């Protein structure tokens, strides 16, 4: 069985699409680009809640991304029912996000709903915690590191399954 001709697609999701999911989106795009697969993957992010629609990500997220030479120009958007058929994989950042995704998913949804941290992270590091109310950049650095590991492991596993 050969490779699919259409792009594979990933949607990163957190509560408001300001902190974790934009970092995860930017990191996944970077991981895909470093693998030379940018033409084969579509990556986006969204929030479960629409409170911040149209806003740029948290400045701390943008600063951490910039420190790794990753530019991010996305704006917050809310998850819509069509996302559950448009994307192959929808990644939650924590168990609460995953439970919300499962509740929101229409019966005809085809996306695989997964926890991003289940890819390559140690059991006690699998939850990508919401840093919104924390002070400073340290929690955002940790999120970047978690996403870097998880996105690399996910892409590796996805490619192995595509080759088989």
**In 3-state terms, the chain is what percent helix, strand and coil (to 5)?**
45, 15, 45
20 is catalytic: yes
Cα distances from 67 to residues 35, 56, 60, 71, in angstroms, run 20, 17, 11, 9
126 is catalytic: no
- pLDDT score for 144: 98
Q: What is the pLDDT along the chain (164 residues), one digit of tens a residue?
A: 334 458 999 999 999 999 999 999 999 999 999 999 999 999 999 999 999 999 999 999 999 999 999 999 999 999 999 999 999 999 999 999 999 999 999 999 999 999 999 999 999 999 999 999 999 999 999 999 999 999 999 999 999 886 44
Q: What is the pTM of this model?
A: 0.94
Q: Which candidate in 58, 83, 94, 130 is catalytic?
A: 130
14 is catalytic: yes
Domains of the chain: 8-157 (3.40.50.2300)
């Amino acid at each position: 069985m050969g490779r699919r001709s259409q792009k594979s697609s990933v949607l990163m999701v957190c509560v408001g699409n300001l902190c974790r999911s934009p970092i995860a989106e930017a990191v996944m795009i970077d991981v895909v680009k470093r693998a030379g697969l940018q033409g084969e993957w579509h990556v986006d992010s969204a929030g479960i809640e629409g409170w911040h629609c149209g806003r740029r990500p948290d400045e701390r997220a943008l600063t951490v991304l910039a420190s790794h030479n990753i530019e991010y120009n996305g704006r917050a958007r809310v998850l819509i029912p069509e996302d559950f058929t448009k994307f192959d994989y929808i990644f939650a950042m924590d168990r609460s996000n995953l439970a919300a995704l499962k509740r929101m998913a229409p019966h005809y949804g085809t996306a695989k709903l997964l926890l991003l941290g289940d890819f390559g992270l140690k059991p006690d590091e699998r939850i990508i915690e919401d840093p919104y109310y924390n002070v400073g950049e340290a929690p955002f650095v940790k999120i970047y590191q978690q996403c870097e590991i998880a996105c690399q492991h996910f892409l590796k596993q996805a490619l192995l399954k595509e080759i088989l």
